């Protein structure tokens, strides 16, 4: 497939991976070790044939025979002498249709004016918050740069802004968390929830002093290992809980707690997906937001546990209706083309768009599995299986048999999933190329959220194996790499607006001038 080779060598966006490399290589990649920039950057190779064949070149060649070329010989400054005919941009690729006749002072003055205007616009639209995003989230950056800048991010965002969120218990204890809707919500309490996070909850506030919090941000080992540590998970849980209970959208004039309101709305609509605006979250908890994007499996697991507890605390009976609350991440500030998704995105959160070309039926997937020991009949389990790890039973605790074990059909819980084929939108496929596609897995309440022909955007986890057990046990097809959807939004409305033909537009124009139009449209 030659399009791989023709593609730019840097992927569209490298995801957020901060643990892509083993820790000990980070510095060497980030440092300016010339040997690490050998051939693969595709430039800097000088064709010797273009050098003029003068006497100097001959001398240098001779020296090379002995002990290499002396780049700092006596007249090396001569290489930098002024050469008007060569010190110019070549005209290929330059747009010379615009002649800039300003001098440097004028250019600088214009530039300052433009920046002042942009800043004023940001202030007006409230976009200044976005500027506090780590730069990596805006940049289509290289891997090296990201690793290089990482320590700075870690330091920069430790301190909360003084106007930031209050700790939920400090002054809300006892009189409800939502002043705007006093009757509906109750103050959460750490009681009677069979969840470790929750029963430990009273220790949350005391568990991490400032020093501990600082240490939580100092990732040791790979990030993916780090976020599976108990204390780190408790820390993430604490911070996310605070966020859910105390985040106030600066645009909200009543100063409502954004997510308490959204939880109330979710419950009223009898839904079980809570949408978290990534840009809001990263503004408050930049490090954890980056962990979420970089190691989404573990971090989402913690967040969903917290989400569940917060929702069921605020709405006690809701647990009788839904067993689980899904945390959906909206507004992830990266966007990748399907054709640019690479190995480096693996197990990170990505956002891609395209047209649904196929939608499978709904398949069952093992979620909570029990096994029968064929030797002694003991029921083993339940084992909880997610998309990332396959449950393997070592030996029977009763008879120490190493198997075989068979799935206990009655006591095994399945969850449903559906597979979409997402194909690049026609507009972005380079001329003469075939459109690329990705398999997207929909789970739970995302099933049936999109149908063939619709243009959608998927935020999800790029993963290389959806369900190992399906492959090995049931002979389901092996998916090489798939995107496990976390959030799906439709672009259909936008899309159909583009499909107005000129005739349509002319017709609309004509109708709009018809004085009887309001009677016709609204009889």
Binding site for Zn ion (CB under 5 A): 373, 375-376, 378, 396, 398-399, 401
Query: DSSP character for 471?
Result: I
Closer Cβ to Zn ion, 203 or 377, answer by number: 377
Angle at alpha carbon of residue 323, lines to 320 and 329, rounded to 5° = 130
**Least distance to Zn ion, CB of residue 411, Å:** 16
Closer Cβ to Zn ion, 378 or 465, answer by number: 378
**Least distance to Zn ion, CB of residue 378, Å:** 5
Query: DSSP character for 178?
Result: -
Closer Cβ to Zn ion, 401 or 469, answer by number: 401
Closer Cβ to Zn ion, 391 or 446, answer by number: 391
**Least distance to Zn ion, CB of residue 469, Å:** 21
**Least distance to Zn ion, CB of residue 375, Å:** 5
**Least distance to Zn ion, CB of residue 391, Å:** 17
What sign results for the dihedral spanned by CA atoms 114, 120, 124, 126? positive
Q: Which string of DSSP letters, residue by residue, matches 301-338?
A: HHHHHHHHHHHHHHSGGGGGT-S--EEEEE--S--B-G
Closer Cβ to Zn ion, 209 or 398, answer by number: 398
**Least distance to Zn ion, CB of residue 399, Å:** 3
Closer Cβ to Zn ion, 393 or 447, answer by number: 393
Residue with tokens 């799935």: 407
Alpha-carbon distance of 257 to 235, in angstroms, equals 21
**Least distance to Zn ion, CB of residue 371, Å:** 10
Query: DSSP character for 379?
Result: E
Closer Cβ to Zn ion, 60 or 393, answer by number: 393
Instruction: Write out the E strands in 308-436.
Output: 326-330, 349-373, 379-384, 405-407, 413-423
CA torsion 396-400-402-405 (nearest 10°) is -30
- Would you call 410 exposed, middle or buried from its count of C-beta atoms within 10 A (0-12, 13-18, 19+)? exposed
Please give the biggest Cα pair distance in the chain: 96
- Would you call 427 exposed, middle or buried from its count of C-beta atoms within 10 A (0-12, 13-18, 19+)? exposed
């Amino acid at each position: 497939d030659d399009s791989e080779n023709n593609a730019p060598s840097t992927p569209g966006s490298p995801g957020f991976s901060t643990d892509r490399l083993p820790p000990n290589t980070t510095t060497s990649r980030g440092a300016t070790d010339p040997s690490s920039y050998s051939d693969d950057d595709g430039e800097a190779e000088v064709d010797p044939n273009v050098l003029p064949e003068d006497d100097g070149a001959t001398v240098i060649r001779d020296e090379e025979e002995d002990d290499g070329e002396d780049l700092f010989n006596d007249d090396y400054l001569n290489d930098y002498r002024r050469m008007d005919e060569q010190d110019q941009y070549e005209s290929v690729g330059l747009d010379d249709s615009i002649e800039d006749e300003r001098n440097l002072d004028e250019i600088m003055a214009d530039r300052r004016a433009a920046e002042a205007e942009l800043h004023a616009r940001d202030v007006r639209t409230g976009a200044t918050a976005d500027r506090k995003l780590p730069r990596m989230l805006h940049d289509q950056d290289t891997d090296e740069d990201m690793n290089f800048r990482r320590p700075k991010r870690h330091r920069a965002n430790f301190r909360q802004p003084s106007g930031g969120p209050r700790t939920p218990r400090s002054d809300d204890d006892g009189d409800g968390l939502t002043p705007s809707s006093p009757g509906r919500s109750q103050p959460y309490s750490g009681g009677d929830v069979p969840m470790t996070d929750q029963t430990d909850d009273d220790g949350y506030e005391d568990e991490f002093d400032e020093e501990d919090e600082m240490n939580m941000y100092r990732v040791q080992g790979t990030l993916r290992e780090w976020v599976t540590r108990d204390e780190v998970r408790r820390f993430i849980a604490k911070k996310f809980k605070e966020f859910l209970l105390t985040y106030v959208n600066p645009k909200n004039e009543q100063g409502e707690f954004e997510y308490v309101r959204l939880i109330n709305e979710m419950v009223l609509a009898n839904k079980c997906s809570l949408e978290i605006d990534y840009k809001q979250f990263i503004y408050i908890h930049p490090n954890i937001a980056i962990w979420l994007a970089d190691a989404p499996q573990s971090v989402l697991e913690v967040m969903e546990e917290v989400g569940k507890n917060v929702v069921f605390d605020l709405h006690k009976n809701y647990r009788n209706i839904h067993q689980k609350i899904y945390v959906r991440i909206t507004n992830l500030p990266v966007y990748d083309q399907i054709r640019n998704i690479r190995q480096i995105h693996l197990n990170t959160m990505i956002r891609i768009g395209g047209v649904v070309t196929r939608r499978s039926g709904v398949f069952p997937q093992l979620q909570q599995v029990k096994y029968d020991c064929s030797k002694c009949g003991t029921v083993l389990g339940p084992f909880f299986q997610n998309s990332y790890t396959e449950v393997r039973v070592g030996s029977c605790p009763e008879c120490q048999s190493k198997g075989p074990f068979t799935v206990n059909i009655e006591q095994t819980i399945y969850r449903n999933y559906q597979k979409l084929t997402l194909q690049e939108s026609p507009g972005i496929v380079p001329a003469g190329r075939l459109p690329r596609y990705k398999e997207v897995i929909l789970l739970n309440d995302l099933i049936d959220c999109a149908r063939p022909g619709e243009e959608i955007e998927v935020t999800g986890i790029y993963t290389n194996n959806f369900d190992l057990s399906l492959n090995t046990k049931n002979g389901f097809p092996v998916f090489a790499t798939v995107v496990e959807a976390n959030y799906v939004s439709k672009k259909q409305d936008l899309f159909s607006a583009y499909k107005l033909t000129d005739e349509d537009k002319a017709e609309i124009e004509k109708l709009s001038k018809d004085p009887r139009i309001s009677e016709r449209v609204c009889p």
